[in-house]
Amino acid sequence: MADKIRISDVAKFDGQEVVVEGWLYNKRSSGKLHFLQVRDGSATIQCVVFQGEVEPSVFEDAAELGQESAIRLRGIVREDARSPLGFEIGVIDIEVVHQSESYPITPKEHGTAFLMDNRHLWLRSARQQAIMKVRSTIVKACRDYFDSNDFLLVDAPIFTPASCEGTSTLFETDYFDEKAYLTQSGQLYMEAAAMAFGKVYCFGPTFRAEKSKTRRHLTEFWMIEPEVAYMDLQGDMDLAEDFISFVVQRVLEERRTELESLERDIAPLERTLKPFPRISYSEAHEMLKAEGIAHTWGDDFGAEDETVLANKFDRPVIVHRYPAACKAFYMKADPENEKLALCMDVLAPEGYGEIIGGGQREDDLNTLQEKLSEHGLDAAPFEWFLDLRRYGSVPHAGFGLGIERTVAWLCGLPHVRETIAFPRLLQRLYP
RNA sequence: UCCGUCGUAGCUCAGCCGGCAGAGCAAGUGGCUGUUAACCACUGGGUCGUAGGUUCGAGUCCUACCGACGGAGCCA
């Protein structure tokens, strides 16, 4: 009985008879030969059906296979220099598990709208498989980093009673005749968890109902958010750069093949090592002015501003101490200049923009209460959050990293919609 | 929400100054023992986004609406 193998393991079975279970990715025929490109999710391998080597019925079945037909095939692994894998399979027998006809995604070019309508099938394409594999590795690396640095995973709720930041538009749902909102960040809950466990992180989906229609926005996206007690802004920036360096280097180690198939230029990723350059908001403002870009001190940076700033450095850049007015209410004011917040953003290179936002949190009860009212927020839903400042309040800091933007950056993709299996966009709820 | 571009075969597109609806791929049939988005020959395939309007005549010109894409703003 032949071994059932994953195609990615084929090198271990040179000269042996094996069984592969997969789908027909593409087929080319030449009279008495059929070349079947078979994928099983791990890789794709060419399987050769020669009329002189198989039963007539097998050769006939091979001739009639449609794209994406499900097949279980048996054959001999053999080395072949012409194969990208270095191996191909000489077919002995084929079992047609399911005959597929008129598969919509042909080996020709397609438009984005059509491919998104067929996202459930598009995921079978080589390029999408490479992206999903990089994403999986990024997520694993993020978890490994925090798990191995003494952080505790604490899951934040998805239903929340009020806005976390008071800045963005939330999805409203009916929660047993009460209003509930889909979370836009787990951060406030992580602050509570940090006071309980010291070093914590959460990883989950977050939701924004903003009508953003750009290449860097989804209405549902995944964020990983560490929060640490007794940590200040300096420590927060140290953590962010150490974390990003780790994740990027892990992806380079484990997913080089996928990055190459995506034609990603590896050089900028290889330079992504700590320390990252750190500039203040005011320095960034001056840099923009020096470039002849109109920017008013006090305004947040736009997408184009971020790109110009990032292009001045060869690795991610940390911008710290933004004006408090353009940041969330819970940011701690800079004791050296009350107009500034002890916050920081990490801007990815090559125009990928903000991948991390974070900072030191306000830990004084009275100041936090004042900021809530300054932002026009009702204090009642935040009483539990204020309790954290009543019972053993300490300096603490954290940040959130957007997974999709990180995947887009590392894969070199022009749009975040391909970084998640089933993207949720302004105009996209299907499939 | 604002600005711009585009809606023609299953898919990607061409269709000029308004005059018979086209190509490639996919599908079907046949051919080829080493193909690499294989190739060659043949066949079938259309509510030209929707609704009005102008005209002898509209895929083509005009108006409105719908949808998609790109950008801005908002945000991560």
To the nearest whole percent, how much of chain A has pLDDT over 70? 98
Q: Inform me whether the pLDDT recorded for A164 exceeds 60.
A: no
Beta strand A199-207 with A278-280 is unpaired
Angle subtended by helix axes A383-390 and A365-374, to nearest 10: 150
Cβ contacts of residue A380 below 8 Å, gap of 6+?
none
Chain centre to alpha carbon of residue A400:
12
| Residues A272-296, mean pLDDT to the nearest whole number | 91
Query: Which nucleotide across the nucleic acid strands is nearest to A111, CA versus C1'?
Result: B12
Considering just the CA atoms, what is the radius of gyration of chain A in Å?
26
The Å distance, CA of A304 to C1' of B65, is: 34
Query: Which nucleotide across the nucleic acid strands is nearest to A214, CA versus C1'?
Result: B71
The Å distance, CA of A424 to C1' of B66, is: 21
Q: Which nucleotides of B are covered by protein (CB under 7 A)?
A: 1-2, 10-13, 24-28, 31-39, 67-76
Contact, A329 CB vs strand B, < 7 Å: no
Contact, A50 CB vs strand B, < 7 Å: yes
Q: What is the pLDDT of residue A186?
A: 92
Q: Is there a contact between A58 and A94 (Cβ–Cβ < 8 Å)?
A: yes
The Å distance, CA of A112 to C1' of B70, is: 12
Beta strand A3-4 with A17-29 is parallel
Neighbours of A429 (CB within 10 A): 11
User: Which comes out higher in pLDDT, residue A99 or A144?
Assistant: A144
Q: Which of residues 227-266 of A touch strand B (CB under 7 A)?
A: none
**How much is the mean pLDDT over chain A?**
91
Q: Inform me whether the pLDDT recorded for A180 exceeds 80.
A: yes
Strands (DSSP E) found in A100-182? 152-153, 159-160, 172-175, 178-182
Q: What is the pLDDT of residue A334?
A: 94
ipTM above 0.95, yes or no: no
Q: Which protein residue has its CA closest to C1' of B71? A: A214
| Residues A274-291, mean pLDDT to the nearest whole number | 92
Query: Which nucleotide across the nucleic acid strands is nearest to A104, CA versus C1'?
Result: B10
Contact, A345 CB vs strand B, < 7 Å: yes
Q: Inform me whether the pLDDT recorded for A231 exceeds 90.
A: yes
Contact, A402 CB vs strand B, < 7 Å: yes
Write down all domains in chain A, each with its CATH number in brackets: 3-98 (2.40.50.140), 119-418 (3.30.930.10)
| Residues A182-203, mean pLDDT to the nearest whole number | 95
| Residues A191-212, mean pLDDT to the nearest whole number | 93
pLDDT digits (tens, 9 = 90+) for A385-404: 999 999 999 999 999 999 99
The Å distance, CA of A128 to C1' of B2, is: 33
User: Which comes out higher in pLDDT, residue A163 or A42?
Assistant: A42
For residue A416, the one-letter residue type is: V
Confidence band, pLDDT 50/70/90 cuts, at residue A163:
low
Q: What is the pLDDT of residue A166?
A: 54
Beta strand A353-360 with A343-348 is antiparallel
Q: Which of residues 405-424 of A touch strand B (CB under 7 A)?
A: 405, 414-416
Strands (DSSP E) found in A306-352? 317-320, 333-334, 337-341, 343-348
pLDDT digits (tens, 9 = 90+) for A318-328: 999 999 888 88
